[in-house]
C-alpha cells in the first residue's frame, strides 16, 4: 500500500470508505488523519510481528525500560520518516488535494510525561529501535495526560488533557494479556515441608490491561513495543459481597476507585507529594510489567534459570523501584526460589538512573501507608533493609552514622533511592558533573560501599525528531553539504566544522533560520496576537517552570534592559524577542506567580511605544513536544541558566544546539559538556559554578539583601515587582519578592550581574554576523555527541550488555 503513490492513493480512498463510508470530499481532516494513521499502523504490523518472532525465537537478551512517563509527542510523521515514506505520502496526498500539514496537525500530543524525564524515555525508545536493539518501554496509559495550559489574564489555568477523546490509532489493546495486580489485605505466613509460605489474602484486585504501541526504527525493519498498562475492573470482579447485599452503588464506587489508578498523570516535575494514589500507580505498572516479562520468559525458556542473562530491567528514576521487591516476590512466592537465589537474580537484572540532586525530588513513603497498601512487598523491603544493615554493621562495626544514611527504612519512611542502590547492579547519573556530584555528595556513602555500581551516561536526544523532523530544511542542507552518513552516525556532523567559515554555507544557514523564525512569528501572531520582528534575536527559555531553572533571572534581566532603554532611548541594542514557554505544577505557587510575572512584564514592555519595539516578550501557552519542535529550530539563543549543580543534565540544551542556537548558560548539567565540545568561544557561560554553590551551602555567607542594597539595577528591578510598576495589585508578586530577598537558595541575585554581562556579550556577538553564523555552525557540528543514539549505545554495552538484532 506504500509501494508507490498510485497504490497509496488507492489504499487511502479504500480505507476512507471502509472506516467512515464517505467520499474524499465529505471527509474531515480528522477523519483523514485517522485513515492515514490506520494505514501506517497496518503497514507497520507486519514488521512488528516479525520483530517479536525474531526476539522470541533467537532468545536474545531483552531490555525493558520502566518509566512512569513517556513524553512521546506526535507519532505520525516520525513513523513516516522512519519508514522512509514521508515524501511519497506527502506528494500523493497533495495529488488528492489534501494538505499534508493539516493532517499531521490533527494528531493530539500524547502528553504522558511532565518534561525532561519523560521525553528522555521517548528519545531512548526511538534510539533503541533505530539501533536494532531489543528494547521496550513499560509504563502507564494515563487516561488524562499532563494538563493543558491556558493563559487567562496572565495566569495559568489548567484544563484536562483528554488526549484519547477521538481514540488512539497507534495502540493495540491486548485484552488477553491482562494480569491481576493486588492491593491491601494481609499476609498469612505458614510452612509447607519446612519451607515458609506467604499467602496474600483479603486483597483488592485490579486488572492491568496492556495497550501496545509500535516503536519503529529508522529504515531498519525493527519494530519494538511500548507497553502501557490501563487499570480496569471487569464486571465479574465487582465487590461481590457488597453487590449481593444489594449495595450496587458501593460496587460501582469500587470499580471507579480501582480504575482511578491509571486516570491521570501527576503534574509534578522534580518534586514529590507522597500521595497514596501515586504509590498505587507505581506498584500497578511495575507489577503488571514484571508479571508479563516473567510469563513471556517462561514461555520461551520453561524455567527462570539464567533470567538475568536474558533480561535487563531499567528503572527511570526511583518511580519504578518496586520492580526490585516485586521481582523478589514473584521469584520466591510464585516460583519457589529461596531468598539468596532470588536476590542474586534480582540484583543482576535491575539497573537504575538517578535524575536529581534536589532533596524535594527524592522519593520517600511513610511506612504505614506503604505497609497498608502493599503488605507483602513491605515485608520484602523490610527484609532487604535488615540484611543490608546487618551487612553494613559487619563491614563497618565502629560506625553507626553511615547506617543512618544508607538504611532503606529510616525515621518511619522508606527511602526509594536507597532501595534502588542496594537492589540494583548499576546506578548512573545523566551528565558527567551530575554523576560526580552523586558520588561526592548526594550518594557519597553509597559510593564508598559500591563504587563499582556508579557510572555516567550523559543524556541525549533523538536527532531524527529534533533535527530531521523538526528542521527538515536544515537536515537537507547538511546532507547536501557533507553527505547523509550523519543520519546513522551523528558524530559525522563534525565535518560541518569545515564549513563554519564558508560564506555561502553561512548564508544558507541564515536563510533557514530566518524561515523558521518567520513560521514561529506567524504562530505567535496567531496565538498571542503579538507581532515580532524576525530580524530581532529570538531568545528562548522553554522548559518546566521551577525555581532552580531560574526563569526569574531571565525576567529580571529583561526588566533591567527595559529600564536602561527608558533611561537612554538611543541605546543601540540589537532588538530582542524574549520567548517563554513553561507549565507550572498546579500546586507550586511561586512557579505560577512567575508565569504571571512574565506576562505582566510583557504587558508593560509590549505596549510601550517609546522603545521602538526593541524588546518584545512573549509567553507561548501549553509548551509541549509539538511546540518544542516549532520553537527550537527558530531560536537564536538558548537559555540554560539553572543554578549550578541543580540541573542533572537538561536535554532542551541539546535540542537547541543541534538547531544552531547559541547557549547562554551556567556550568551545570550537560552545559559543561556542551562547552567542552564547542569550546568556550562558542557558548556564553556565566555565574557561580557548582563548587561555589556547594561552598555557600556548607559555609553560608550569601545574603541577597546585600546585593539588593549594593546594586542599583537589582534594587530597581526588585522594587518594581511590588511598587505598582507592573500594573497589577501590589501584593501580586509579594511572595516572589520575599523569596528572592530572604529565602532564595538558587542565587538569583548573586548571579544577576554576571548574567547581564553575558547577555551583553550575546548582543555583541549577534552584531558580528559572520562570527555569529560561524558559532551557530560549530554548535550544530558538535551536536552529534548529544544524540541519544550515542547515549543508548553506551547503556547497551556498559550497563545492559545487549547487542543489536538485525530484522531482515
Ligand atoms: C526537551 C523537553 C523538556 C526538557 O527540557 P529541559 O530544558 O531539559 O528542562 C521539557 N519539555 C518538553 C516538551 C521537551 O521537549
Over residues 395-408, mean pLDDT? 82
What gap in Å lies between CA 144 and CA 113, rounded to an integer? Answer: 11
**Share of residues in the chain with pLDDT > 90 (%):** 93
| pLDDT tens figures, 102-142 | 999 999 999 999 999 999 999 999 999 999 999 999 999 99
For 76-121, the DSSP string reads: HHHHHHHTT-HHHHHHHHHHTT--HHHHHTTS----BS-SHHHHHH
700 CA → ligand 1 middle, Å: 32
Contact 800, 697 (CB under 8 A): no
What gap in Å lies between CA 102 and CA 116, rounded to an integer? Answer: 28
Among 439, 543, 576, 614, the active-site one is 543
Contact 520, 536 (CB under 8 A): no
User: How high is the pLDDT of residue 240?
Assistant: 61
pTM of the model: 0.98
User: How high is the pLDDT of residue 238?
Assistant: 63
| pLDDT tens figures, 192-232 | 988 899 999 999 999 999 999 999 999 999 999 999 999 99
Our answer to whether residue 355 is catalytic in this structure is yes
- Specify the residue for cell string 501515586: 278
Angle CA 688–689–694, to nearest 5: 95
User: How high is the pLDDT of residue 254?
Assistant: 87
**Nearest C-alpha to atom 10 of ligand 1 is from which residue?**
115
Q: Which domains does the chain have, with CATH numbers?
A: 59-74+109-424 (3.40.50.2000), 463-688+747-786 (3.40.50.2000)
Our answer to whether residue 9 is catalytic in this structure is no
> Which is the closest atom of ligand 1 to the Cα of 650?
8
| pLDDT tens figures, 779-803 | 999 999 999 999 999 999 999 999 9
| Confidence class for position 55, pLDDT limits 50, 70, 90 | very high
Sign of the alpha-carbon torsion through 374, 379, 385, 388 = negative
> Which is the closest atom of ligand 1 to the Cα of 542?
7
Out of 70, 113, 149, 543, give the residue to mutate to test ligand 1, the one with the largest number of ligand atoms within 8 Å of its CB: 543
Residue 771 has pLDDT above 80, yes or no: yes
Query: Which residues surround ligand 1 with Cβ inside 6 Å?
Result: 115-116, 119, 543-544, 623-625, 628, 650-652, 655
261 DSSP assignment: G
Out of 69, 71, 541, give the residue to mutate to test ligand 1, the one with the largest number of ligand atoms within 8 Å of its CB: 71
Over residues 559-575, mean pLDDT? 96
End-to-end CA distance of the chain: give it in Å, rounded.
19
Contact 181, 288 (CB under 8 A): yes
110 CA → ligand 1 middle, Å: 15
User: How high is the pLDDT of residue 397?
Assistant: 79
646 CA → ligand 1 middle, Å: 15
Our answer to whether residue 329 is catalytic in this structure is no
444 CA → ligand 1 middle, Å: 28
For residue 627, give the nearest of 515, 512, 466 by alpha carbon: 466
User: C-alpha distances in angstroms, 165 versus 106, 177, 619, 784?
Assistant: 12, 24, 27, 38
User: How high is the pLDDT of residue 414?
Assistant: 98
Out of 544, 661, 663, give the residue to mutate to test ligand 1, the one with the largest number of ligand atoms within 8 Å of its CB: 544
**Nearest C-alpha to atom 8 of ligand 1 is from which residue?**
650
| Confidence class for position 243, pLDDT limits 50, 70, 90 | low
654 CA → ligand 1 middle, Å: 10
What gap in Å lies between CA 520 and CA 269, rounded to an integer? Answer: 27
Among 90, 280, 655, 790, the active-site one is 655
Dig out the grid coordinates for 637 from the structure. 539563543
Out of 652, 658, 671, give the residue to mutate to test ligand 1, the one with the largest number of ligand atoms within 8 Å of its CB: 652
271 DSSP assignment: -
652 CA → ligand 1 middle, Å: 5
790 CA → ligand 1 middle, Å: 19
Our answer to whether residue 549 is catalytic in this structure is yes
Report residue 26 CA to chain centroid gap: 39
User: How high is the pLDDT of residue 401?
Assistant: 62
Residue 749 has pLDDT above 80, yes or no: yes
What gap in Å lies between CA 299 and CA 644, rounded to an integer? Answer: 49
Please report, to the nearest 10 degrees, the dihedral formed by the alpha carbons of residues 672, 675, 676, 678 taken in order.
160
Residue 242 has pLDDT above 70, yes or no: no
Amino acid at each position: 500500500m506504500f509501494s508507490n503513490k498510485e497504490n497509496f492513493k488507492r489504499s487511502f480512498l479504500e480505507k476512507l470508505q471502509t472506516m467512515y463510508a464517505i467520499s474524499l470530499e465529505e471527509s474531515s481532516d480528522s477523519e483523514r488523519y485517522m485513515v492515514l494513521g490506520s494505514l501506517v499502523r497496518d503497514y507497520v504490523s507486519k514488521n512488528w510481528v516479525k520483530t517479536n518472532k525474531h526476539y522470541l525465537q533467537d532468545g536474545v537478551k531483552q531490555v525493558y525500560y520502566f518509566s512512569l512517563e513517556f513524553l512521546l509527542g506526535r507519532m505520525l510523521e516520525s513513523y513516516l520518516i522512519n519508514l522512509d515514506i514521508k515524501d511519497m505520502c506527502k506528494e500523493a496526498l497533495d495529488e488528492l488535494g489534501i494538505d499534508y500539514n493539516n493532517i499531521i496537525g490533527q494528531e493530539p500530543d500524547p502528553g504522558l510525561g511532565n518534561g525532561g524525564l519523560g521525553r528522555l524515555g521517548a528519545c531512548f525508545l526511538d534510539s533503541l529501535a533505530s539501533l536494532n536493539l531489543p528494547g521496550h518501554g513499560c509504563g502507564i496509559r494515563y487516561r488524562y495526560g499532563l494538563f493543558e495550559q491556558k493563559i487567562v489574564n496572565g495566569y495559568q489555568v489548567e484544563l484536562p488533557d483528554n488526549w484519547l477523546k477521538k481514540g488512539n490509532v497507534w495502540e493495540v489493546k491486548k485484552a488477553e494479556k491482562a494480569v491481576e495486580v493486588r492491593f491491601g489485605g494481609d499476609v498469612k505466613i505458614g510452612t509447607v515441608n519446612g519451607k515458609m509460605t506467604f499467602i496474600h489474602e483479603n486483597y483488592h484486585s485490579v486488572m492491568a490491561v496492556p495497550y501496545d504501541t509500535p516503536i519503529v526504527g529508522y529504515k531498519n525493519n525493527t519494530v519494538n513495543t511500548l507497553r502501557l498498562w490501563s487499570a480496569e475492573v471487569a464486571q465479574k470482579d465487582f465487590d461481590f459481597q457488597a453487590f449481593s447485599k444489594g449495595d450496587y452503588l458501593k460496587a460501582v464506587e469500587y470499580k471507579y476507585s480501582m480504575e482511578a489508578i491509571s486516570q491521570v498523570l501527576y503534574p509534578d516535575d522534580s518534586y514529590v507529594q507522597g500521595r497514596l494514589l501515586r504509590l498505587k500507580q507505581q506498584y500497578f505498572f511495575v507489577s503488571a510489567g514484571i508479571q508479563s516479562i516473567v510469563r513471556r520468559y517462561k514461555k520461551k525458556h520453561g524455567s527462570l534459570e539464567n533470567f538475568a542473562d536474558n533480561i535487563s530491567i531499567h528503572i527511570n528514576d526511583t518511580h519504578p523501584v518496586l520492580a526490585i521487591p516485586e521481582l523478589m516476590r514473584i521469584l520466591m512466592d510464585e516460583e519457589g526460589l529461596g531468598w539468596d537465589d532470588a536476590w542474586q537474580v534480582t540484583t543482576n537484572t535491575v539497573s537504575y538512573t538517578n535524575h536529581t540532586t534536589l532533596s524535594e525530588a527524592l522519593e520517600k513513603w511513610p511506612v504505614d501507608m506503604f505497609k497498608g497498601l502493599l503488605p507483602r512487598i513491605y515485608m520484602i523491603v523490610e527484609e532487604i533493609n535488615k540484611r543490608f544493615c546487618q551487612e553494613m554493621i559487619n563491614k563497618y562495626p565502629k560506625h553507626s552514622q553511615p547506617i543512618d544514611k544508607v538504611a532503606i527504612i529510616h525515621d518511619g519512611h522508606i527511602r526509594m533511592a536507597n532501595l534502588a542502590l542496594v537492589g540494583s547492579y548499576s546506578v548512573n547519573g545523566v551528565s558527567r558533573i551530575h554523576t560526580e556530584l552523586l558520588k561526592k555528595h548526594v550518594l557519597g556513602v553509597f559510593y564508598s560501599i559500591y563504587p563499582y555500581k556508579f557510572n555516567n551516561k550523559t543524556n541525549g536526544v533523538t536527532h531524527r525528531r529534533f533535527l530531521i523532523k523538526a528542521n527538515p530544511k536544515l537536515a537537507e542542507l547538511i546532507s547536501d553539504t557533507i553527505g547523509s552518513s550523519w543520519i546513522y552516525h551523528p558524530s559525522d556532523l563534525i565535518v560541518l566544522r569545515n564549513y563554519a567559515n564558508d560564506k555561502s554555507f553561512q548564508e544558507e544557514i541564515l536563510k533557514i533560520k530566518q524561515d523558521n523564525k518567520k513560521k514561529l512569528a506567524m504562530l505567535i501572531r496567531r496565538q498571542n496576537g503579538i507581532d515580532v520582528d524576525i530580524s530581532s534575536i529570538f531568545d528562548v527559555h522553554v522548559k518546566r517552570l521551577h525555581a532552580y531553572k531560574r526563569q526569574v533571572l531571565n525576567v529580571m534581566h529583561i526588566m533591567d534592559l527595559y529600564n536602561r532603554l527608558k533611561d537612554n532611548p538611543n541605546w543601540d541594542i540589537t532588538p530582542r524577542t524574549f520567548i517563554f514557554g513553561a507549565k507550572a505544577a498546579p500546586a507550586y505557587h511561586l512557579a505560577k506567580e512567575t508565569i504571571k510575572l512574565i506576562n505582566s512584564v510583557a504587558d508593560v514592555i509590549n505596549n510601550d511605544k517609546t522603545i521602538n519595539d526593541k524588546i518584545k516578550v512573549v509567553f507561548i501557552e501549553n509548551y509541549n513536544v509539538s511546540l518544542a519542535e516549532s520553537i527550537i529550530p527558530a531560536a537564536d539563543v538558548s537559555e540554560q541558566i539553572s543554578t549550578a549543580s541543580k540541573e542533572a543534565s537538561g536535554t532542551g540544551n541539546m535540542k537547541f544546539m543541534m538547531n544552531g542556537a547559541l547557549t547562554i548558560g551556567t556550568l551545570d548539567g550537560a552545559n559543561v559538556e556542551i562547552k567542552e565540545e564547542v569550546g568556550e568561544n562558542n557558548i556564553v557561560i556565566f555565574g557561580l559554578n557548582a563548587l561555589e554553590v556547594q561552598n555557600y551551602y556548607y559555609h553560608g555567607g550569601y545574603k541577597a539583601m546585600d546585593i539588593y542594597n549594593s546594586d542599583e539595577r537589582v534594587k530597581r528591578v526588585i522594587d518594581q515587582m511590588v511598587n505598582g510598576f507592573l500594573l497589577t495589585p501590589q501584593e501580586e508578586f509579594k511572595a516572589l519578592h520575599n523569596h528572592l530577598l530572604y529565602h532564595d537558595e538558587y542565587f538569583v541575585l548573586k548571579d544577576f550581574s554576571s548574567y547581564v554581562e553575558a547577555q551583553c556579550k550575546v548582543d555583541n556577538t549577534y552584531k558580528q554576523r559572520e562570527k555569529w553564523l560561524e558559532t551557530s555552525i560549530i554548535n550544530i557540528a558538535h551536536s552529534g555527541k548529544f544524540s541519544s543514539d550515542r547515549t543508548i549505545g553506551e547503556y547497551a554495552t556498559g550497563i545492559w550488555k545487549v547487542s543489536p538484532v538485525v530484522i531482515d
